[in-house]
């Protein structure tokens, strides 16, 4: 049986002590009556940790070994997964941050984020179902008519129904403009015909209904991505009284045989093979991509969290093994290289968590904060999202790979379960926009659109943190500050280089974009670790004897000494991208 224990101490430390959710969120009108603060955090984290550790984690290996299957137009889920989804819905976890007017809990995004980390640390394949359902519900909430909201949202938020996102087609990939799925008007609805691939949890029997959101083109639609519309296509039709009617013409054709996330049925979905599936327009005609992008920030935050969740699971498994495995007369955790790997895993996990949780708060401030600060907060979250999605999923591959390495040969065989984290997380740099797309988005859209203004605001915050570190009067924090100052200077140079490249040669800037994204991620992770170290030092000086705080300072120092120097390597690659990359003929590859 797999074990997973949510890192509740670090989670609550970030939420209540570093980010101070009670002060920055608890007083906002939307949250004022919810009791945001340490008591709520403790209650939620304890219950979520119990669900993740006791119910979801034991199914991780089961789903890997007994994948979902498809036959006769229906999916059979991995054992236990549907019951676990029912438990998540019944506990209110699926709609935890959703509109309370439609069955949600209405809590800040930070609580949804921490839950999402737990679900993915315990069982990433299963966690994909509520993640995609929440994204579909968010699109309906933002663009649906009052009738559509009343019909679908409450049951989706409570987990009685699930939702999916149907974008990709064979041969189209990320280029949605060439899609072939069609929607023909027919009275108050449309007839949808076509086929979609890579549809996560496209079919199952966990819920009474599945609400598919489907991108399709109208007969007279403009060419390319400007001619895409979005439609609600329920698995079962919904009657006026809310009861379920006849089966709609949408069926799974098959499930993909994948490298990982075997417990998640990734379906080929057929719409309209028997006359046309009934669909209802969501938003306006030919505005489908705009509707989909409504939920992209949240979806990409959640994918970044998947990288963190899998990394935390791999860290826990590797640490447990290293404490038990004896070699040379001592547990291998005493060996210098094993200790190096584990500390690398641990520090990267904590850096990812600090970055993602901080920006979950930013997301709430952008949507629900004081009116005067919303624009600035939106600019910041827009800048952060490609870094969170891209950097955290790249780091997730490294951490889960190190988890295999700590196990040695036993990590390479499936018996230990260490390899599953590595296999599962490999999809995260690919979906919701490949990391190359995230890097291009960071450079061309987020950095380029405002001339680096949003980035400069964040860099100033980092400078302020460095000043506090230097003034703390602690040798460890002084060393952390020195490393952060060096990385900050490199980031400033790379940013100016990118901005100049955008003016001179966009292909050159694009060639540097991935390295710049990674450099930015390591810097931002180190910055948030440093913020945590400042709070930890305050607690130590106030008399706390909790070893957690000393460990936090020590982990941050390790990150500063061993991880932050990576920024220099990426900065060098950024500056060098105008050379061999651009001049190398593609026929030589």
The residue with tokens 């969170």 is 388
The domain that contains 317 carries what CATH number? 1.20.140.10
Same domain, 387 and 471: no
Tell me: do 341 and 302 sit in the same domain: yes
Residues 396 and 472 in one domain: no
* 304 in Cβ contact with 394 (< 8 Å): no
CB 139 within 8 A of CB 292: yes
Q: Is residue 109 part of a domain?
A: no
Question: Can you tell me the distance from the alpha carbon of 371 to that of 480, in angstroms, rounded to the nearest whole number?
Answer: 36
Rounded CA separation 91/95 (Å): 10
Whether residue 178 is predicted with pLDDT greater than 80 in this model: the reply is: no
> Do 282 and 299 fall within a single domain?
no
What is the average per-residue pLDDT within 547-561?
Answer: 98
Same domain, 195 and 311: no
Once rounded to an integer, what is the mean pLDDT over residues 412-418? Answer: 95
Residue 15 lies in a domain: no
pLDDT for the residue numbered 580:
83
In a shared domain, residues 368 and 459: no
Instruction: Residue 176: give its domain's CATH number.
Output: 2.40.110.20
472-496 mean pLDDT: 98
Same domain, 325 and 422: yes
Pairing label, strands 209-216, 161-166: parallel
Among 231, 257, 286, residue at a domain's last position: 286
Which residue range is the domain that position 539 belongs to?
A: 436-579
Phi and psi based region of residue 43 (left: phi greater than 0; alpha: psi -120 to 50; beta: remaining): alpha
Let me know if residue 120 belongs to a domain: no
Do 465 and 400 share a structural domain? no
In the predicted structure, residue 278 carries a pLDDT above the cut 70: yes
Mean pLDDT in residue range 531-547 = 98
Q: Residue 176 — very low, low, confident or very high, per pLDDT cuts 50/70/90?
A: low
Assigned domain for 304 exists: yes
What stretches of 68-108 show up as alpha helix (H) in DSSP? 81-90
Same domain, yes or no, for 312 and 263? Answer: no
Q: If DSSP codes are grouped into helix, strand and coil, which group holds residue 417?
A: coil
pLDDT on residue 175: 67
Residue 551 pLDDT > 90: yes
State the average pLDDT over residues 42-54.
98
In a domain, 62, yes or no: no
Long-range contacts of 242-245 (CB under 8 A, 24+ apart): 242/151, 244/208, 244/209
39: annotated active-site residue: no
223 falls in which pLDDT band (50, 70, 90)? Answer: confident
Residue 150 belongs to a domain: no
Q: Scanning the structure block, which residue is given the tokens 């605001």?
A: 457
Residue 229 domain-assigned (yes or no): yes
214 DSSP β-pair partners: 166, 231
pLDDT of residue 582: 83
Our count of domains for the chain comes to 3
How is residue 549 written in tokens? Answer: 């705080």
Give dist(CA 581, CA 576) in Å, integer: 8
Q: Which of 401, 433, 465 is the last residue of a domain?
A: 433
pLDDT at residue 360, rounded to an integer: 96
Residue 425 is assigned to a structural domain of this protein: yes
Helices 336-368 & 109-143 angle (0-180, nearest 10)? 50
Give pLDDT, residue 174: 62
Cα Rg of the chain (Å, integer): 24
User: Which is nearest to 534 in space by CA: 464, 486, 485?
Assistant: 464
Percentage, residues of the chain above pLDDT 70: 99
> Which helix H or strand E contains 437, and what residues bound it?
helix 435-440
Instruction: Kindly report, residue by residue over 379-408, the tens digit of the pLDDT.
Output: 999 999 999 999 999 999 999 999 999 999
Specify whether 400 is located in the same domain as 522: no
Q: What is the mean pLDDT of the chain?
A: 96
375 and 494, same domain (yes or no): no
pTM metric for this prediction: 0.97
* 104-107 contact pairs (CB < 8 A, 24+): 104/157, 106/30, 106/31, 106/34, 107/31, 107/34, 107/36, 107/44
pLDDT at residue 1 greater than cutoff 90: no
Among the three residues 381, 401, 433, which one is the final residue of a domain in this structure?
Answer: 433
| 256 SS3 class | coil
Q: Are residues 271 and 304 in the same domain?
A: no
HSE-CB at 334 with a 13 A cutoff on CA atoms is 8
Measured distance CA(489)–CA(486) in Å, rounded: 5
The pLDDT tens digits for 194-216 are 999 999 999 999 999 999 999 99
Given 22, 109, 154, 432, the catalytic residue: 432
Residues 199, 537: Cα–Cα separation, whole Å: 47
Q: Return the closest-CA partner of residue 387 out of 468, 266, 480, 297.
A: 297
């Amino acid at each position: 049986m797999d074990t997973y224990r949510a890192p509740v101490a670090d989670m609550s430390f970030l939420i209540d002590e570093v980010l101070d959710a009670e002060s920055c969120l608890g007083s906002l009108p939307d949250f004022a009556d919810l009791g945001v603060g340490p008591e709520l955090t403790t209650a939620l984290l304890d219950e979520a940790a119990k669900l993740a550790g006791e119910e979801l984690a034991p199914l991780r290996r089961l789903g890997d070994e007994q994948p979902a299957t498809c036959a006769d137009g229906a999916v059979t889920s991995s054992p236990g997964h549907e019951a676990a989804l029912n438990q998540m819905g019944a506990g209110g976890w699926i709609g935890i941050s959703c509109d309370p007017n439609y069955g949600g809990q209405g809590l800040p995004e930070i609580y949804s984020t921490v839950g999402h980390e737990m679900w993915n640390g315990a069982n990433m394949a299963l966690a994909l179902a509520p993640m995609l359902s929440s994204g579909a519900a968010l699109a309906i909430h933002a663009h649906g008519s009052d009738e559509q909201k009343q019909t679908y949202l409450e049951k989706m938020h409570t987990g009685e129904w699930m939702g999916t996102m149907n974008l990709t087609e064979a041969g189209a990939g990320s280029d949605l403009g060439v899609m072939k799925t069609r929607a023909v008007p027919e009275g108050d609805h449309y007839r949808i015909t076509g086929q979609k691939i890579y549809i996560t949890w496209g079919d199952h029997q966990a819920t009474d209904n599945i609400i598919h959101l489907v991108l399709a083109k109208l007969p007279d639609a403009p060419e390319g991505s400007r001619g895409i519309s979005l439609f609600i296509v329920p698995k079962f039709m919904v009657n006026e009284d809310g009861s379920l009617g006849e089966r709609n013409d949408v069926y799974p054709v098959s499930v993909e045989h994948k490298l990982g996330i075997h417990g998640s049925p990734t379906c080929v979905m057929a719409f309209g093979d028997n006359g046309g599936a009934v669909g209802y327009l969501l938003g306006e005609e030919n505005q489908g991509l705009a509707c989909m992008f409504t939920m992209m920030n949240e979806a990409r935050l959640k994918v970044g969290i998947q990288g963190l969740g899998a990394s935390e699971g791999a860290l826990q498994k590797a640490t447990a093994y290293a404490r038990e495995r004896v070699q040379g007369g001592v547990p291998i955790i005493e060996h210098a290289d094993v200790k190096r790997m584990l500390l690398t895993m641990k520090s990267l996990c904590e850096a990812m968590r600090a970055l993602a949780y901080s920006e979950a708060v930013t997301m709430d401030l952008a949507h629900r904060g004081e009116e005067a600060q919303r624009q600035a907060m939106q600019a910041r979250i827009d800048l952060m999202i490609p870094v969170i999605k891209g950097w955290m999923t790249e780091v997730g591959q490294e951490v889960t790979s190190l988890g295999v390495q700590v196990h040695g040969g036993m990590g390479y065989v499936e018996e230990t379960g260490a390899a599953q984290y590595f296999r599962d997380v490999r999809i995260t740099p690919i979906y919701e926009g490949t990391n190359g797309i995230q890097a291009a988005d960071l450079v061309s859209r987020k950095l380029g659109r405002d001339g680096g203004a949003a980035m400069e605001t964040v860099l100033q915050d980092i400078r302020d943190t460095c000043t506090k570190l230097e003034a703390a009067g602690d040798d460890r924090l002084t060393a952390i500050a020195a490393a952060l100052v060096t990385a900050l200077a490199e980031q400033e140079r790379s940013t100016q280089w990118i901005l100049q490249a955008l003016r001179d040669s966009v292909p050159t800037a694009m060639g540097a974009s991935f390295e710049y994204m990674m450099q930015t991620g390591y810097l931002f992770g180190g910055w948030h670790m440093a913020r945590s170290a400042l709070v930890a030092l305050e607690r130590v000086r106030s008399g706390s004897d909790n070893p957690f705080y000393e460990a936090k300072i020590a982990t941050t120092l390790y990150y500063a000494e061993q991880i932050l120097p990576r920024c220099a390597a990426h900065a060098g690659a950024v500056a060098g991208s105008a050379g061999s990359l651009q001049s190398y003929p593609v026929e030589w590859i």
